Structure 1
Amino acid sequence: MAVLAEFAPYFLAMMALAVASAFFSCAEAALFSLQPDDRRALAKGNAAQRTAIELLAKPERLLTAVLFWNLMINIVYFALASVVGIQLERADRGAEALATALLALLLLIICSEMVPKTLGVQRPQVLSAVLSLPLSGAVRATDAVMPALTAANALAQRLLLPGFRREPYLELQDLEKAITLSSGDRHLADRERSALQNIVSLSELQAEELMRPRRQYDCYVPPIHLADLGGDLTRSGYVLVAEEGSEEVVAAIPLKLLPTVPRSHLEHYAQPVIYMPWCATGAAVLEELNRQRREVAAIVNEYGETVGIVTLEDLLATIFEDQSSRSARLLATASIAPAGDDAWEVTGMTSLRRLQRHFAVELEETHSATVAGVLHEKLQRIPEPGDELSWSGFEFHVLDAVEDGTLRVRLTRSLSEGLYD
């Protein structure tokens, strides 16, 4: 207590500096912990909330200013602690000097770093709004020295982390060659090449070729309780939330999150879906999901009606599985399976692109993207068992047509097209 009274001005100044350091630490943790949903909500809020979003518009400037002020505060803080310690040492009070140094260090670590950063991470939206206005003033105060700080940062990056020049353009063959040369395992190289080709194919595949049709997933209308699932996993891997009185998907809950949320009112923990047109490419869907940090895209037709969904897992399966297909994912069956001599069994949702690639033939021009679409287009009605059709060098024979829209079709080569030698 005698030390506190003797050096009270120093300790009061150190307390003020510790509070200032805690302010910057908390603000940094809160702002950089904001999720996309939080940022969208703050962008529509009051002046303080909008200021937080404006600060995040230039993250490097914000982080540089926060680190600059924290560094200055810590230097002054430890300078004052050193002055107190030196004076105690000169008075032969070594034990008190050591205790003062340790307490000063613990105070800064716990009260200015650990506690404020923990609070910032736990309550980012609230604290970002509360701290944004004074933080904005502190950031603007560093504008005078910001060019020097930026130059020092750039110099350090060039010396310690030299960058590489961006390649202006790479052909698929260049990437394949790089994979082959860099991998000593031939099987691994083949897998990597397959994944690379699948990534490129996403820029050609349309959303309607990748999506799960409406009849292949279940929707639930709020309020949704865990008991509503009946103890079974959903077919899509998500609990899909629909608007009341409709089947339009508006949000989704990954099944992997169910153990961490309450058993009732699951809709409160759902994540909004994004909306993409049926003609969008798979690459565009993946890019938008990544940009908005979402996992499910609702695919809509030209009338704005939801016709299916594409999940992040579907896109990843398309990339990394050698023979990925919707039939395998949704129906647990191969999209094209041998069914005897010169005959195959295909599903209605088998894409024409897959059919063309499998048989290495050119198909006729059509507005449809799947086998079922061709049958609808040519028959001008819903296919029924026993229906037969000749198209593009193939004979189609409908084996089964289930009420949920699932089709099984027997496919043979047409002799009249001269496909046999």
Structure 2
Amino acid sequence: MNAIVTVWPWLAAMAVLILFSALFSGSEAALFSLTPRNRKSLNRTGIGGRIAAALLEDPERLLSAVLFWNLLINMTYFAIAAIVGGKLEHDPEGGNSVAIAFTIAALMTIIFFSEMLPKSLAVLAPLRISTWIAPPLLLAVRIVSPALPLVAVTNQAASRLIWPSFQPEPEIDLTDIERAIELGTDDAALLQRERMALRGLVEIAETRVNELMRPRSRLWLCNDLHDRNAIVDGPFRSSYLMVMDEAQEMIVQAVGVRMLRPSHMDDLASVAEPVIYVPWSAYVSQVLDQLNEEDRSVAVVVNEFGELVGAVSIDEIMHRVLAPSHDEDFLGEASIQEIETGRFRVWGSVSVRSLAKRLNIDVDGEGVTTVAGFIGRFNERLPRLGDNAPMGAFHLTVIEQEDEGVWIEALAHDYPGNREVTS
């Protein structure tokens, strides 16, 4: 009894330290388990959420401060536990067995109440807990901030002393990846598909979104999702139904038609999801990253004036990467057909860049996206049957006109019967 009376102030201090350790352990688990969507919603959850968002802008500084405080608290806790254990050992009513039992109990207590329990609770509701603990955590970070540069320098010096021979790995070249694919399988068909996927990944890193998008004229647009008959009875034009704003100038939502169940047809508004907006000059790889980050399916492409020019879905991007043939139009026909040497048949919506690659020529296509637009700019009007234009070492002529677009013939300058065009 005398032993308990003697050490109870120390026990109270240990209890307080456990609470602080639990605070920092739980805050670490909550803040660093937030999903990208949770992080975007922090600014809408009050002052606590805004503080948490500000702390996460510098995660390395935040983590260093949390770990510093946790280490300091735990060291103080075990120092007090050692003092209490010594007092219990020398107390007549205690002894070695009591001291050992107390030490084990102290260790199990801090493991459970300051590590396991707070972290388990924090990951169950990370957004709510992050907003609660952000204000005191901000104070703790500010207090320890002057010491953080010293901690960083110490860590760097220690790592160089302990692992002096470690060197960062060089970036892997695409040739190395292709070589690894060749060595990884003997299946010729699988090897071909893996090569195709690799080629597709490289292409989207170099392709701008205006080359892959569906132009506005080929999108499936609607003004009212509640008009079920107009949607169901209308022509099926795409895997996504685009919802326009009241002014019918911009797409605001998209409905993945291929994923709909019969019950959804009575309430299409409930399955419509927001879209993202990207400039026409963005690379497809950047658009794919943004779609994944914001968990969206459709990106609306706008020009430099903010006007709607087209849209691209994540399905179309993945099809570009994985499909066995990329040069397909919406009719399923090859959009660039080589009729014979020096003579090609091209669908008008093919991008100027894609055709220039296929023809192995350099073209100034600034200001236009498609081959039809290229001819239209040269003739200063919408392409008509018989319109022509020069493109590098080739001569373009509109040879067929359909409701959906035009077919264009590309003839090399040295092709028999070709006529030069003068501007």
TM-score with structure 1 length normalisation?
A: 0.69
Distance 1:73 1:255 in 2: 56
Corresponding position of 2:114? 112
Corresponding position of 1:214? 216
Q: 1:204-251: CA deviations, max 9, x gaps?
A: x3x32221223544467787899x998xxx987667565456462335
In structure 2, relative to structure 1, the CA distance for the partners of 1:245 and 1:115 (3 Å cut) is farther
Specify the SS of the correspondent of 1:145: helix
One-letter amino acid matched to 2:351? S
Q: 1:366, 1:374 within 8 Å by CA — same for their partners in 2?
A: no
One-letter amino acid matched to 2:276? I
Q: 1:299, 1:307 within 8 Å by CA — same for their partners in 2?
A: yes
Q: 1:179-216: CA deviations, max 9, x gaps?
A: 677776596896587357525533xx3x3222122354
Distance 1:357 1:2 in 2: 90
Corresponding position of 1:309? 311
Corresponding position of 2:407? 409
% of aligned pairs identical? 31
Distance 1:242 1:94 in 2: 77
Distance 2:231 2:81 in 1: 61
One-letter amino acid matched to 2:405? L
Aligned-pair CA distance for 1:15: 3.0
Q: 1:268-295: CA deviations, max 9, x gaps?
A: 8876543233344546646766787766
One-letter amino acid matched to 1:407? G
- Within the alignment, does 1:396 sit opposite 2:398 as a pair? yes
Distance 2:241 2:121 in 1: 31
In structure 2, relative to structure 1, the CA distance for the partners of 1:339 and 1:73 (3 Å cut) is same
Count of residue correspondences:
395
Q: 1:222, 1:265 within 8 Å by CA — same for their partners in 2?
A: no
Q: 2:239, 2:256 within 8 Å by CA — same for their partners in 1?
A: yes
For residues 204-243 of structure 1, the aligned pairs below 5 Å read: 205=208, 207-218=209-220, 242-243=244-245
Q: Aligned-pair RMSD on alpha carbons? A: 5.2
Q: 1:222, 1:244 within 8 Å by CA — same for their partners in 2?
A: no
Corresponding position of 2:71? 71
2:199 to 194, 198, 222: 194
Aligned-pair CA distance for 1:361: 4.8
Specify the SS of the correspondent of 2:326: coil
In structure 2, relative to structure 1, the CA distance for the partners of 1:353 and 1:225 (3 Å cut) is same
Q: Which runs of 5+ in 1 are unaligned?
A: 168-173
Q: 2:214, 2:310 within 8 Å by CA — same for their partners in 1?
A: yes
In structure 2, relative to structure 1, the CA distance for the partners of 1:196 and 1:175 (3 Å cut) is farther
Specify the SS of the correspondent of 1:143: helix
Q: 2:220, 2:237 within 8 Å by CA — same for their partners in 1?
A: yes
Specify the SS of the correspondent of 1:417: coil
Corresponding position of 2:52? 52
Specify the SS of the correspondent of 1:369: coil
Q: 2:225, 2:243 within 8 Å by CA — same for their partners in 1?
A: no
In structure 2, relative to structure 1, the CA distance for the partners of 1:166 and 1:363 (3 Å cut) is closer
Corresponding position of 1:19? 19
Corresponding position of 1:274? 276
Q: 1:121-180: CA deviations, max 9, x gaps?
A: 44334333322221111112213432331112222444448454999xxxxxx9566667
Corresponding position of 1:139? 141
Specify the SS of the correspondent of 2:62: helix
One-letter amino acid matched to 2:300? A
Specify the SS of the correspondent of 2:417: helix
Q: Which runs of 5+ in 2 are unaligned?
A: none
One-letter amino acid matched to 2:407? V
In structure 2, relative to structure 1, the CA distance for the partners of 1:341 and 1:200 (3 Å cut) is closer
Q: 2:34, 2:126 within 8 Å by CA — same for their partners in 1?
A: yes
Distance 1:324 1:119 in 2: 49
Corresponding position of 2:28? 28
Q: 2:205, 2:284 within 8 Å by CA — same for their partners in 1?
A: no
- Within the alignment, does 1:154 sit opposite 2:156 as a pair? yes
Q: 1:277-330: CA deviations, max 9, x gaps?
A: 3344546646766787766432123443322123455445555667534x45x5
Specify the SS of the correspondent of 1:142: helix
Aligned-pair CA distance for 1:63: 0.5
Distance 1:5 1:81 in 2: 16
In structure 2, relative to structure 1, the CA distance for the partners of 1:241 and 1:3 (3 Å cut) is farther
Distance 2:69 2:106 in 1: 19
Distance 2:2 2:388 in 1: 101
One-letter amino acid matched to 1:194? R
Q: 1:222, 1:267 within 8 Å by CA — same for their partners in 2?
A: no
Q: 2:206, 2:283 within 8 Å by CA — same for their partners in 1?
A: no
Distance 1:26 1:293 in 2: 27
Distance 2:126 2:20 in 1: 18
